[in-house]
Amino acid sequence: MRVTIEPGSLRGTVAAPPSKSMAHRMLICAALADGESLVRPIEASEDILATADGLRALGAGIRQEGDALRVTGCRPAEAEHAVIPCRESGSTLRFLLPLCLLGGKEMTLTGSGRLLSRPLDVYETLCAERGFRLERTGQGIRVQGRLKAGEYTVRGDLSSQFITGLAYALSLVPGESVIRILPPIESEPYLRMTLEAMAASGVQVSRPTPETLLVPGGTAYRSGEKTVEGDWSNAAFFEALAAAGDDILVTGLREDSLQGDRVCWEYFRRIREGAAETDVADCPDLAPVLMAFAAMRGGARLTGTRRLRFKESDRGAAMAEELAKFGIRVATEENEILIGGEKPHAPAEILQGHNDHRIVMALAVLCTRTGGVIDGAEAVRKSYPAFWDALRSIGANLTVSN
């Protein structure tokens, strides 16, 4: 799919879509509870559909009711040999893999795109230490083992998703467990979101120190109605336009949200005012839109960018390649990215989306200033299927073609 965007000023109000990160967590908590839960609102993105499919494979009942999903709980330890279809969702893979290690049966997690090549170091180490099976095959990732309560030490500098997945699984086995996190802890806000979602479902994970989680075992998750807050990660693309001067109001966001990407407005301000550096270690999903914004506002230096290589694309390299088409120089180092201060011009070449939703949306932000054509624009379905409609609703002159 190809989208052509003409330059122009934008004006209007955009309602933030529901948080993909919190929807993942609430759906899993609902699936681990006895009885029925209603989770709303839900954006039917590819990532959320992947988590719903994976939970169904583990035995949960999930059906759509308008903008909500009705979830009937399951017991993952009782699931027979199952195939867990993760599509391209890293969250789904890392959240559900430990649940596949509860019953001692062979389970297979499948995926597409770059998913199955993304790092699983924490789980590979855990399985090796405990004699579990975790192997990558042509069909997916095959695992087999039976988690027990105990003490687990995990690296904190790879992804908080590993800690989240382990906490879900350990909360279901008898006995208290301790998760010790080796600093530094990156994506800390996402870990706090996990603990908030679990607490809202009646599972209290205590945290006596930042590096220690005490997970109660055999606890019962509470079913009920769950409300998904607005998504700062996807709203950031419209907040970028507002920060760049367009008259845009984004509604439906909690100012007290635990979402790490809530810092987007502060980071746009810092770039606009020429701050020496902006650290994205705790909010890596903001990096593409920050790079696009920096291209509009005279450049920037981003630090904490090491993990961008392991997303749906190598995001630093992908944005550098595309920003070059606008005449913007970008230098990517091991853990920092420098965006030059050149004024962007209309790209003479077609822009490529790199099969990455956040790359596509970041390029769209810049194209509202210069114009441009983006190929692979369907990638937004991964997190924000309504993105193009939302952009058009505030006056963007864009056309979509196959």
Instruction: Show which residues are catalytic.
Output: 285
Cα–Cα distance for residue pair 207/212, rounded to 1 Å: 6
3-state secondary structure (DSSP) of residue 21: helix
Classify each residue of 325-356 as buried b or exposed e, where b means 16 or more C-beta atoms within 10 Å of its C-beta: bbbbebebeeebbbbbeeebeebeeebbbbbb
CB 372 within 8 A of CB 292: no
For the record, the structure tokens of 384 come out as 């924000």
DSSP-derived secondary structure for 144-191: E----SSEEEEESSS-HHHHHHHHHHHTTSSS-EEEEEESP--SHHHH
Read off the amino acid at residue 175.
G
CB 280 within 8 A of CB 306: no
CB 212 within 8 A of CB 181: yes
For the record, the structure tokens of 155 come out as 């690296």
Beta strands in 320-367 (DSSP E): 330-332, 336-339, 351-352
Best CA proximity match to 303, nearest among 184, 383, 192: 184
Question: Can you list the alpha helix ranges (DSSP code H) found in 43-183?
Answer: 46-57, 90-96, 121-130, 160-170
Read off the amino acid at residue 93.
L
DSSP state of 263: G
3-state secondary structure (DSSP) of residue 60: coil
CB 6 within 8 A of CB 398: yes
Phi and psi for 193 in degrees, rounded to 5?
-65, -40
Read off the amino acid at residue 196.
E
